[in-house]
Structure 1
């Protein structure tokens, strides 16, 4: 290996390169990292603009490999840290050998306490974009019980000779992976069993029931050398004392232990006493609805995915006070005969449809708990609801995704009240 090739391998180890790239010297630049950007990257001035830099921390001075590519007729430039000249006190050695080659984890190089604070700041900054939300105090991020080995779902890309791995977000190159630090140990065992044997497909999904030992591998593999059954249509998971069926297309949280804690917090914030009508909007396979059915008089779950509703039909068997509706939340919520006492909103990353927010404003439930995986869409929707007569009583980040920049968040809302002159009543923003 030439000196140039050795330097390139050090800057970005593990990336499989086309033959024409092997002799090309990498473009290296010394950069000052001055702020956080999108997707967990840092920002640095370079040439005539600002670029995203993977693997840095603001305040650091680094040598980084410059990545240039064209997309939609535009030239894009980014960088990957290769050498740290002046390190942040929060920098640690990432334990994964693929860090930098695989961009699935953005923050393995940051100590965990600082990751939690960055996520709290991320939520606070999103709220701060709206004047009506700036007084809200964001709670400290609830840490995950496991920093590694927590993911119950992996989606692998398949390349030549049936190799399994990931695509680097910046270079768009395939990275063969034999062990993923975020995956549950069983998924890594399955990965090694499938490695080099899955050439009949280009994508492979592996899902595992952490509390049941059940699994799902899709699509069906026909290679007789694969030692695991594949092609399952669903698998089973247990949360608290309930078994849940989850089909391949259905959504489920990837961190089962933290999802159980999430459900507990949602229950605590709703403060149900058994007399209420509870609506679980964007209900998925019915996790919240099933777990909270014993605490409410009536539960109505709304979900538009037919696959998830089919799962829910199995999951709610024997629960007599729970009804599941296959519909879009924005179409159904406002059609209820009686206004609900409590509502859970757990929308996709894009947030709620405006019609859903309008229905909440008209119905004014006594308590609404909004579960979000995107601080920006959460802040946008909270500002809309506050303008419509709600008050935000708490915002609590929950770390469902350690070692990444992603943040789950629970916001609790109540109808706004007039503040007394001598203080704040319970359930009003701090």
Structure 2
């Protein structure tokens, strides 16, 4: 057989244009079709679409293709709200109707439970829609770069194209809160006027790495963090004065210094250039102080719904002691404290623990306390101390829980476990482990925390008497 570079045994070539009918969606939001015995993934396509697409990668069993033209749209397709959709890597499913997005996210959770966890019989509720479809993000992290403008180079900021570090310039992102968009535009404009340069990750030169904007959607307070390569910020006083004049909603302007050649956005040093070191956001009756490095859900309205759901599931009848693991700045813990007699939060990141304690004190919540330490170490100590919680709430990062943490939870013998997840795959894996420890998932509720994207949150409720 003669070898043809880029061709396979079925004669498909990279760069070849094909017509496809999209029959479904993959977990990341790509449309799925079949062609000559292969599964073909087509970003930006919708179920029911008939499309022309160009093959970009062909293997023996699957292929990827870029969308060239929609020959006939499926019933779930809608015009995207953003003219940069498909070029920018921020949204994956903005071309789907709200109903289709919610159905897709529910199916992603159900498929993960069945395929990864072997839990296909666990009821999965309809996905809870976000109160806001656009303009919901209270936080933005825009990388900066120098872009060519004719013969000249100018500073720009935006979002990277999918799978690259090529900047797509953004002036107005439809899913961002309007204040964040205004902060982006004015910061770029002032930085250009003052001659600031953007960081070049290849050469390790330049000044401005990222523009981080954060707003309290319920309070109106806004924060700007300029992430720079070095501590020296050229013309800092003029920069701060002009930004304060143009953006009166800014209550905090800070500089974060990150000298490392890394994809991590924030460095270890932050200094306040003007205003307060934190901004305030409100969920329900609680106010939370947010510093530049604080983790806080980007959709304030949906975050409140998730906290209430987790608290109701963990404490269906008021009273008892509840343990929250991976408590962060205490967001869920304070909602738990409204229903429980006592709440104990465990968090490994010490600055977050200090924030949690300050948030509890500021909100005059006296029946909650926080412990600093790795869950793997703290939970066995709590078991040995005789702690007997009625419920345990788990809110881990995307990687999920270590097996030792899940074993430690089982050793505490709570009657209920509530698992708050941002990744259906690790949720399914961990629920399967807990099932082997005597805890059965009774229901899983997906929540659309990130409309227009393929990401989904979920709250799972487990009961058991191990």
> Which aligned pairs between 1:31-430 and structure 2 lie closer than 5 A?
31-32=19-20, 33-44=22-33, 52-64=41-53, 78-129=64-115, 132-160=118-146, 161-170=154-163, 172-198=165-191, 199=197, 200-219=207-226, 222=236, 224=239, 225-226=242-243, 227-228=246-247, 230-231=253-254, 232=272, 233-317=277-361, 318-336=364-382, 337=385, 338-415=387-464
Q: How far apart are 1:159 and its partner, in Å?
A: 1.1
> Which residue of 1 is the match for residue 9 of structure 2?
none
Q: Residue deviations 1:79-117, cap 9 Å, x none?
A: 432310132111111121111111211111111111111
Q: How far apart are 1:389 and its partner, in Å?
A: 0.5
The answer to whether the Cα contact below 8 Å between 2:315 and 2:336 also exists between their aligned partners in 1 is no
The answer to whether the Cα contact below 8 Å between 1:67 and 1:171 also exists between their aligned partners in 2 is no
Q: How far apart are 1:335 and its partner, in Å?
A: 1.6
**Matched positions, count:** 386
So what's the TM-score if we normalise by structure 1?
0.83
> Which residue of 2 is the match for residue 422 of structure 1?
none
3-state SS in 1 of match to 2:217: coil
Structure 1: which 5+ residue stretches go unaligned? 1-25, 69-75, 418-430
Distance in 2 between the 1:271 and 1:299 partners?
11
Q: How far apart are 1:152 and its partner, in Å?
A: 0.4
3-state SS in 2 of match to 1:311: helix
Q: Residues 321 and 67 (structure 1 numbering): CA distance in 2 closer, same or farther, change over 3 Å?
A: same
Q: How far apart are 1:219 and its partner, in Å?
A: 2.3
Backbone CA RMSD of aligned residues: 2.5
Q: Residues 319 and 166 (structure 1 numbering): CA distance in 2 closer, same or farther, change over 3 Å?
A: same
The answer to whether the Cα contact below 8 Å between 1:247 and 1:307 also exists between their aligned partners in 2 is no
Q: How far apart are 1:34 and its partner, in Å?
A: 4.5
Q: Residues 401 and 280 (structure 1 numbering): CA distance in 2 closer, same or farther, change over 3 Å?
A: same
Moved more, 135-144 or 302-311: 302-311
Q: Residues 31 and 252 (structure 1 numbering): CA distance in 2 closer, same or farther, change over 3 Å?
A: farther
Q: How far apart are 1:48 and its partner, in Å?
A: 9.7
The answer to whether the Cα contact below 8 Å between 2:315 and 2:391 also exists between their aligned partners in 1 is no
Q: Residue deviations 1:329-349, cap 9 Å, x none?
A: 222122212121111110001
3-state SS in 2 of match to 1:202: strand
Moved more, 33-42 or 346-355: 33-42
3-state SS in 2 of match to 1:166: strand
Moved more, 377-386 or 94-103: 94-103
The answer to whether the Cα contact below 8 Å between 1:80 and 1:100 also exists between their aligned partners in 2 is no
Q: Residues 131 and 173 (structure 1 numbering): CA distance in 2 closer, same or farther, change over 3 Å?
A: closer
The answer to whether the Cα contact below 8 Å between 2:444 and 2:460 also exists between their aligned partners in 1 is yes
Q: How far apart are 1:310 and its partner, in Å?
A: 2.1
Structure 2: which 5+ residue stretches go unaligned? 1-13, 147-153, 192-196, 198-206, 228-232, 255-271
Distance in 1 between the 2:310 and 2:292 partners?
26
Distance in 2 between the 1:330 and 1:209 partners?
34
Q: Residue deviations 1:62-89, cap 9 Å, x none?
A: 2235557xxxxxxx98443231013211
The answer to whether the Cα contact below 8 Å between 2:117 and 2:429 also exists between their aligned partners in 1 is no
Q: Residue deviations 1:286-316, cap 9 Å, x none?
A: 0111222132221111111122112112101
> Which residue of 1 is the match for residue 262 of structure 2?
none
Q: Residues 171 and 131 (structure 1 numbering): CA distance in 2 closer, same or farther, change over 3 Å?
A: closer
Q: Residues 180 and 358 (structure 1 numbering): CA distance in 2 closer, same or farther, change over 3 Å?
A: same
> Which residue of 2 is the match for residue 15 of structure 1?
none
Distance in 1 between the 2:371 and 2:388 partners?
16
The answer to whether the Cα contact below 8 Å between 1:164 and 1:196 also exists between their aligned partners in 2 is no
Q: How far apart are 1:196 and its partner, in Å?
A: 4.0
